[in-house]
Amino acid sequence: MNIQVFIVNAFTKNKAGGNPAGVVVEGDGLSAGDMQYIATEMGLSETAFLQSSASADYKIRYFTPAAEVDLCGHATIASFALLVQKNVISKDSFTIETKAGILPVRVKEEKVFLTQNNPAFRFSQQFDKKDIALSLNISETDIMDDLPIEIVSTGLKDILIPIRNNEVLQNLQPDFNIIEEISVKHQVVGYHVFTLDTNTKANAFCRNFAPLYDINEESATGTASGALTGYLHKHRLIDPARTSLIFEQGHAMKATSEIISRFKVDSHNKIQTLEVGGEGIYLSSKWIEVQ
């Protein structure tokens, strides 16, 4: 059986950069083993498989080259950008069934937005700054003192690490073996490392490392951007009048990506809804044979 896998760049900035994802539009009938094989053969950070759903417009399963994950922001953006550009869909609001729950997707002009779970901070792990610094090959003083290293999730758990300045961030030389060990210990996907020291309209520059899932680094991470939104809001680093943020990722990979986060708060200043999105550009396709 030959399966067509579309390659779509998600979170592009001005039609360039972004993070490529694989998208299988006709995923019905594929076993988990088939999907894992295809994702491994593609070698992209994630491949999304669209299937029929009894409870939503689509069911989507997400696989890295190493394992299935509950949710992937950039692969969702890629999937719906592809459906728009192939004229498969015409409406602008959808629901998707994922292992992280049933989530809304909204298409607006050339951008796709995925509503994520509200940020969760119910994780009590304490981090040794020395270990985190060692894993990133930096000094402890390069990590901000007045902000915590913290696990946050909007569907996937990441360790958020605040770095003092952009020069340090872009010159990180991570030890992926240590990051993998720390990820296993704390049961997270990986690191989302960021700085508020930017020279563009972006609110933060970011890098994401997930070697536990065979993704040493990726150039745009949707779920972690949702988590970062929650982190910045919790620690009062967002102007209370703001309802949207812009993150840039991928500079060190020469694939600058732009990720837009939009949110609403309730009367208690708690995030009530959160969506993350951006552009997606169809690139090409590849056929994979499965037994």
CA distance 156 to 152: 8
pLDDT band for position 97 (cuts 50, 70, 90): very high
Tokens coding 30: 């594929």
Q: What's the pLDDT at 258?
A: 97
Write out pLDDT tens, residues 179-235. 999 999 999 999 999 999 999 999 999 999 999 999 999 999 999 999 999 999 999
Percent of the chain with pLDDT strictly greater than 90: 93
Tokens coding 81: 């950008």
Q: Are 39 and 286 in contact (CB under 8 A)?
A: no
Q: What's the pLDDT at 240?
A: 84
Mean pLDDT of the chain: 96
Residue predicted with more confidence, 231 or 240: 231
Neighbour-count burial for 131-152, b at 16+ CB within 10 Å, e otherwise: ebbebbebeeebbbeebbbbbb
Q: What's the pLDDT at 217?
A: 97
What residues are annotated to the active site?
Answer: 46
Q: Are 159 and 191 in contact (CB under 8 A)?
A: yes
- Lowest-pLDDT range, 68-72, 78-82, 119-123, 181-185? 119-123
Q: What's the pLDDT at 279?
A: 96
Q: What's the pLDDT at 204?
A: 98
The end-to-end CA distance of the chain, in Å, is 6
Regarding pTM above 0.95, the answer is no
Give mean pLDDT, residues 26-39: 98
Give mean pLDDT, residues 111-126: 90
Q: What's the pLDDT at 109?
A: 82
pLDDT band for position 30 (cuts 50, 70, 90): very high
Write out pLDDT tens, residues 121-133. 988 778 999 999 9
Q: Are 188 and 160 in contact (CB under 8 A)?
A: no
